[in-house]
Amino acid sequence: MPEDEFARAAAAIAAAGRRLDRFGWVPATAGNISVRLAGDRVAITRSGGHKGFLGPEGVIQVGLDGAARRAGDRPSAETGLHCGIYRRHPGAGAVLHGHSVPATVLSRLAGETITLAGYELLKAFPGLPTHEAAVALPVFDNDQDIGRLQARIEARWEAGPAPPGYLLRGHGIYVWGADMPQALLRLEAVEFMLRCELEARRLGP
């Protein structure tokens, strides 16, 4: 029943918000979280709420075009990025966006990618059975025009295979998975590796 599906998705989103908040990845009202629903619908956080304290009204429904299903609802300002992921990657079932210190700082220092290599936790990414592999996370310049930003992201996806995540310069990170547990696992793995990269830079050569 669609209402049960939405209630389950809203509960998973609220639990994920509490988890991201515990790590300090959604300061102030930063971050947004979504789950794909049947029938080209998406459950997504309302804009402007604290993602660590999501109540029953904190999650709403949009279509895959990003439009709110209920008049007057204001979905996340970054809904277009979530819907862009679901449209392009049919296997995506949940999307997480956070503003951690490592993602924010490293994306400011990076070029077009951040390469994570030699970490055991790379195994959390699809198709990487050993720690000897590498993942090149795309880094896009931030843009308040979400449609324009999404067009640049799609152009990158058109250019070839890309990992299930990217960074926005000086802003934060997007990661997705087949479902919420997989999205959380990937986000935690990549955040751990970004923290290691930041720590290594502090220590110097």
- Contact footprint for ligand L4RZE5RM (CB under 6 A): 28-32, 45, 47-48, 76-78, 97
Nearest to 197 by CA among 103, 129, 124: 103
Distance in Å, CB of 171 to ligand L4RZE5RM, minimum: 6
Instruction: Give the angle 123-124-127 at the CA atoms, nearest 5°.
Output: 65
Rounded Cα distance between 167 and 171, Å, is 8
Rounded Cα distance between 141 and 153, Å, is 10
* Helix residue spans in the chain (DSSP H): 2-22, 79-88, 101-109, 146-159, 180-203
Closer to Zn ion by Cβ: residue 77 or 200: 77
Closer to Zn ion by Cβ: residue 81 or 162: 81
Closer to ligand L4RZE5RM by Cβ: residue 22 or 201: 22
Q: List strand residue ranges (DSSP E) for 58-153, in order.
A: 59-63, 94-98, 113-117, 134-140
Distance in Å, CB of 128 to ligand L4RZE5RM, minimum: 28
Give me the residues that bind Zn ion (CB under 5 A), please.
172
Is 146 in a helix, a strand, or coil? Answer: helix
Residue list for the binding site: 97, 99
Closer to ligand L4RZE5RM by Cβ: residue 31 or 102: 31
Residue list for the binding site for Zn(2+): 97, 99
Q: Which partner, Zn ion, ligand L4RZE5RM, none, binds residue 28 by CB below 5 to 8 Å per kind?
A: ligand L4RZE5RM
